[in-house]
Amino acid sequence: MKNEPATTTRREFIQKAATITALGFALPHVAVAARRKPARKPSPNSRIHVGLIGCGGMGRSNLALCAREPDVVVTAACDVFDARLEATVESYQPTCKGYVDFREMLLQPDLDAVIIATPEFWHAPLSVQAAYAGKDVYCEKPCSMSIQESWALADAFR
């Protein structure tokens, strides 16, 4: 018997390569899904206390999405329009407190994060103030109106 090299057609090679590639992408995802633990009820100490600055339509929508999570508690809302502020605070009673001045809200010690959904020109100044107050920030886009505001944001979050 001769020692001939095994010949593989081009079609067979592509099929084998596609199968190996697909398995290479799929197996890590299957392994991660298999290791997931069932959802647990968080303890009161591990909850994230969230506040909203700008109680308009988009802000309330973002807040509602966050509030659906079991480990999120809405503790503060801020808006200059009384009707929107009162409606938001009423929706998240008894944990939510209303503020007209965002600076007072940022002084709240149990506030962990803020959602900023104000007009665009307020995004960077409010985000910088929240960062210096030690709060995590979710901000609507655009986060800044100029490169200088972007640099200020980067410095504040650094």
Q: In whole angstroms, what is the distance from residue 131 CA to residue 148 CA? A: 16
Q: Distance between CA 113 and CA 139 in Å, rounded?
A: 11
Query: Is 117 in contact with 56 (CB distance < 8 Å)?
Result: yes
Check pLDDT > 60 for residue 131.
Answer: yes
- 111 burial via Cβ count (<10 Å: 0-12, 13-18, 19+): buried
Residue 57, pLDDT > 50, answer yes
**Rounded to whole angstroms, how far apart are CA atoms 78 and 54?**
6
The residues, any chain, with a CB within 8 Å of residue 47's CB and separated by 6 or more, are: 71, 72, 73
What confidence tens digit (pLDDT) does each residue in 143-153 have?
A: 889 999 999 98
Instruction: Give percent of the chain above pLDDT 90.
Output: 54
